[in-house]
Amino acid sequence: MAVSALGEPCVLLKLGEVVLKGNNREVFEQRLQANIKAALKEFGFKVDVRQRHGVIALFLPEGTSAETADAVAERVAYVPGLVWIHRAWRVAKDPDAVLKAAIELLADREDVKRGVSFAVRSRRRDKRFPLTSMQLDRTVGGELNDIYGLPVDLKNPELVVSIEVDRDEVFVHTDGLPGQGGLPVGTSGRGLVLMSGGIDSPVAAYRMMRRGLRVDFLHFSGIPFTTSESIYKAYALVRALDKFQGRSRLWVVPFGKAQQSIKASGQDRLAVIAQRRLMLKTAEEVAHRLRAGALVTGDSLGQVSSQTLQNITAQDDAVDLPILRPLIGLDKTEIMAEARRIGTLAISELPDEDCCTLLAPRRAETAAKIADLKQIEKRLDAEELAVQLADSLQEYKLEG
């Protein structure tokens, strides 16, 4: 069978939550298409993006290899808003062409040689096609069974041959890549992530991107009392997360001298929460300048002393902007599993000199009183200090 029977390589993208939108669905679809095009700029060629009902088809330039099409599919699998990515073949709207493509598609598969069970599942988006979905299933399925001797299992097949009849062509494919789901980045506004070098904040950032929030990243460095290691680590984490949204920006505030001032206040047990409040006040000032509408942290209820309910309440009191905590109900095992899946865990586990090591009281307060914290802030003139810290902001641009 000639390889040309497979037609042209292309990529089919299945939408998830976006299809549930009402009158503003088109806005979500347009943003998703823009995000897809931005993600594919690295390939150096123009991709024809066509919207269908619940499906986006990516048509690649003539002569594109199957390997390049595979790479395109793998890249768009990181774009939030998609639930399945299929490396498909585009063939003519002709039953014979569809049959030939399906036969060729299974020709060299190792699982076919092992005799896996299979099923054919067709969908006609164009009802003018001469065969119904059931007729197409039986025709193609019967021929595949005769040629390859595979057992048919319509309930739980190990291999599914999918046929999608569209307006101008037919798509034939088998396996797919799971997408990120969620909403297209940029449909839910802009946020600012307080990015430490730990495991939690990168996962929190990912979860909010997946909910359509475009995020900037703010890192507090212990400079001049620590090295630049934590900045390099934060930079590496932002690079790892950039595949989900693109054009990510990392901002760094030198925080060491402010920490020294907090430590000198003599309120040892309250130092950690006082520091967190000052970070949030600074982040709020930065967010206003970046036109971000919310702050994002990696807090998980009860995980450490600063994340008790009382201390979280004390931190919320420090700012007017909403603080989004997408990990609030997860335990460490769940957070680590997600960090591993999105590719940030190994980076987060690298050693570094975090700014928080400068404030490490023997016993940290687990039920801080807001009135006591405000007394510390009054002595520090925290509102003015937050503005000064925001003025010292530095941007670290991603390369490439």
Q: Following CA atoms 88, 93, 99, 103 in sequence, which dihedral angle do they give, to the nearest 10 degrees? A: -30
Question: Are 173 and 89 in contact, with CB atoms under 8 Å apart?
Answer: yes
Q: Are 311 and 273 in contact (CB under 8 A)?
A: yes
Which segments in the chain show pLDDT lower than 50?
Answer: 1-3
According to the annotation, is 192 in a ligand binding site?
A: no
Residue 276, marked binder: yes
Identity at 315, one-letter amino acid code: Q
Asked if omega into 326 is within 30° of 0 (cis), the reply is no
CATH class of 8-178: alpha beta
Task: Output the pLDDT for position 255.
Answer: 94
Which residues on adjacent β-strands are paired with residue 49?
58
Torsion angle of C-alpha atoms 237, 69, 88, 103, degrees rounded to 10 = -130
The span from the CA of 99 to the CA of 152, in Å, is: 17
Q: Which pairing describes strands 8-15 and 55-59: parallel, antiparallel, or unpaired?
A: antiparallel
129 is in an annotated binding site: no
Consult the annotation and say whether 173 binds a ligand: no
Confirm if 69 and 85 have CB atoms less than 8 A apart. Answer: no
**Integer CA distances (angstroms), 149 to 87, 106, 154, 172, 184, in order:** 25, 12, 15, 20, 43
Give the rounded distance of the alpha carbon of 318 from its chain centre. 29
Number of H helices, E strands in the chain: 14, 14
Q: In this predicted structure, what is the pLDDT of residue 400?
A: 61
Q: Which two tokens stand for residue 110?
A: 């190792």
- Hey, which residues does 58 pair with through a beta bridge? 11, 49
pTM over cut 0.85: yes
352 DSSP 8-state letter: -
pLDDT for 266: 67
Residue of 372, 345, 348, 347 whose CA lies nearest to 277: 372
pLDDT for position 53: 79
Q: Is 194 annotated as a binding residue?
A: yes
> What's the pLDDT score for residue 226?
77
Pick the CATH number of 190-397 from 3.40.50.11540, 1.10.10.10, 3.40.50.720, 3.40.50.620: 3.40.50.620
**Residue 396 backbone class (left: φ over 0; alpha: ψ -120 to 50; beta: rest):** beta
In the chain, domain spans: 8-178, 190-397
Side-chain-side CA neighbours of residue 154 (13 Å): 7
Sign of CA dihedral 83, 84, 90, 92: negative
Torsion of CA 283, 209, 26, 39, to 10 degrees: 110
Which residues are CB-contacts of 4 (< 8 A; sequence separation ≥ 6)?
none
The rounded distance, in Å, linking the Cα atoms of 56 and 287 is: 34
Task: Determine the Cα–Cα distance for residues 390 and 384; give it in Å rounded to an integer.
Answer: 10
pLDDT tens-digit readout, 68-124: 999 999 999 999 999 999 999 999 999 999 999 999 999 989 999 999 999 999 999
Whole-angstrom distance, CA of residue 154 vs CA of residue 100: 22
